Each structure stands twice: as C-alpha cells, then as structure tokens.
Amino acid sequence: MDLSQARHAFVTGGASGIGLGVADALVARGLAVTIADIDADAVERALAGRANFRGVVLDVRDRGGWARAKAEAEAAFGPVDVLVNNAGIGPDGAQIADLTYESFDRIVGINLVGVFNGVATFASDMRGRGRGHIVNTASIAGLFASAPGVSAYGLAKFGVVAMTETMRGELAPHGVGASVLCPGFVATNIIANTARLSGEETDYDGGVAPGSGMSPAEAGEIVARGIGADRLYILTHPEMWPMIEGRHNAIAADFAAADKEQAGATV
C-alpha cells in the first residue's frame, strides 16, 4: 500500500518492542497510530512524549474488546487503513510431550487466534472500502520448525503464515494487501513480558542473550518498507534463508521419493 495515502494504523502489542518500532515508523510517514496492548502501564509509557499516538488497552483474545477498541480508535482517527496484528508472547520452552493445556491455549490464543480476531474485526470493512493493508506478525519460526521447546509457538506462527497467504489471495482483488512479518531475533523484552503475562516462570531464554538482535526501530522501518512494497513475506534476517531452504529441500526430497515410489508401483 502506498503509505502516503494512509491515515490511520492500528498496531497490537504496540506498547513495546517490534510493535512500538512499527508504530514509530508509521507515524514518521505521516499516519496517526492507535496502539493496542494488554499492558496498561506500558501503553502509558509509550504514549509519553509521542505525538499522533493514541492508546487502547486490549487483550487480543477478547472479541468484545476488539469491537470496542475499533469503535474508539475510529472515532478518534477515522477508518483504519493499516492493521498490524503484532501482539504476541514467546515460547514457553516445553517440548510437545510436556506442554500443558494451559500453556498451549495461552500461546495459540494470543499468537494465532488473537491475530484472527484482528482480521475478523477489520478485514471486511477494508474490503468494503477497497483499500487497506494488514500485517500479521509471525516469526522465522513460522517458516521452519526451529528448535525443541518452540512447539506451540511454532504451530501458532505457521498458522499465521498460512492465514496471511490465504487472506492475500482473497483480499487482493478488493484492493487490500496482506503481509506476514517473519522476524529473526529482535532485541525486545519478549522473554520478561512473556513470563509476566503468563504468570509463571520460564527458563526458556530463546537461546540468545537478552537484548541481542536487531533493534525494534530497524524492524519497524523494515515493516513500513514492506507495506509500501506490498511484500507477502516481510523478512528481517535474510541470512536465515539456509534454514528455510533446508525445510524446502526436505519437502522436495520426499516429493521426489513419492514420485519414484508411485512410478515404481504402476510398473
């Protein structure tokens, strides 16, 4: 989408990390931004000293809350042109055999169903107006099964990739774009925020030193450019391609094997 034609963006998880980086990048391009976040204190901190920002407290799992947040945001800044479904929590470190129902439901409820709730709230309006762009935040873990302990997280992020690929085909004929953000490591407070929001300690450290990785501001700029270029996959870490290629090669190899077996079976 040509961002010079856009006026209002709604960014979930916008009070921290990547979401705040995206919000800043969009405000720098002339949009007004509503940040929506479950953490009221973080919303207040984010709004301090920022112009063209409004904040709304929203749990992306709360469907009634979504309707209220949309009404409030649009009353202030007009129709939403850009929706960034970015709110999320990190993996809990549990391997799938040890994953609790509570943890699975929390991770999938926020990282996958929460994204759908945002799409369900805004996509039909955008289609009706014939304009808009939706960015869904997945992860590099939505493009390959990254590591032990990322089971529910990876499942949710693969789901976000699939949802966005489908949406893009459905919405493009109506002038609405869709992108999926698949970041590698970005230096945010996701590990501490996840522990706090989950109400439980986790010893999962993501395998990286806290604070390492790309800055949220840089990630935000990449997202703004990705929207402008109407990219399906918005990627922050091109050096991670060999890992995704490894998955693609494994699929190709099993297709080739299936082809050989079936050719053999018909002889």
Ligand X SMILES: NC(=O)c1ccc[n+]([C@@H]2O[C@H](COP(=O)([O-])OP(=O)(O)OC[C@H]3O[C@@H](n4cnc5c(N)ncnc54)[C@H](O)[C@@H]3O)[C@@H](O)[C@H]2O)c1
d(CA 39, CA 115): 17
Could you tell me if 88 and 110 are in contact, meaning their C-beta atoms sit under 8 angstroms apart?
yes
Coil, strand, or helix at residue 225? helix
Binder among 1, 9, 11, 16 for ligand X (CB under 6 A): 16
d(CA 82, CA 70): 12
Comparing CB distances to ligand X, the nearer of 24 and 39 is: 39
Binder among 10, 66, 77, 185 for ligand X (CB under 6 A): 185
Q: Residue 213 interacts with ligand X (CB under 6 A)?
A: yes
CB 15 to ligand X: min, Å: 4
What share of residues in the chain are helix, strand, coil (percent, to 5)? 55, 15, 30
Phi first, then psi: give them for residue 134, nearest 5 degrees: -120, 125
Phi first, then psi: give them for residue 174, nearest 5 degrees: -105, 15
Q: Residue 37 interacts with ligand X (CB under 6 A)?
A: yes
Judged by CB under 6 A, the number of residues near ligand X is 33
Catalytic residue among 101, 153, 204, 233: 153
Instruction: Show the CA angle centred on residue 57, arms to residues 53 and 60, nearest 5°.
Output: 110
Q: Residue 38 interacts with ligand X (CB under 6 A)?
A: yes
d(CA 117, CA 123): 10
Q: Residue 186 interacts with ligand X (CB under 6 A)?
A: yes
Coil, strand, or helix at residue 202? coil
Q: Residue 193 interacts with ligand X (CB under 6 A)?
A: yes
CB 12 to ligand X: min, Å: 6
Q: Is 153 annotated as catalytic?
A: yes
Binder among 24, 59, 81, 92 for ligand X (CB under 6 A): 59
**How many Å separate Cα 125 from the centre of its chain?**
20
The interface with ligand X within residues 136-155 (CB under 6 A) comprises 137, 139
Comparing CB distances to ligand X, the nearer of 202 and 265 is: 202
Q: What is the largest CA-CA distance in the chain?
A: 74
Binder among 197, 232, 243, 244 for ligand X (CB under 6 A): 197
Q: Residue 112 interacts with ligand X (CB under 6 A)?
A: no
Among all residues, which ones are annotated catalytic?
153
Binding region for ligand X (CB under 6 A): 12-13, 15-19, 37-39, 42, 58-61, 86-89, 110-111, 114, 137, 139, 183, 185-186, 188-190, 193, 197, 213
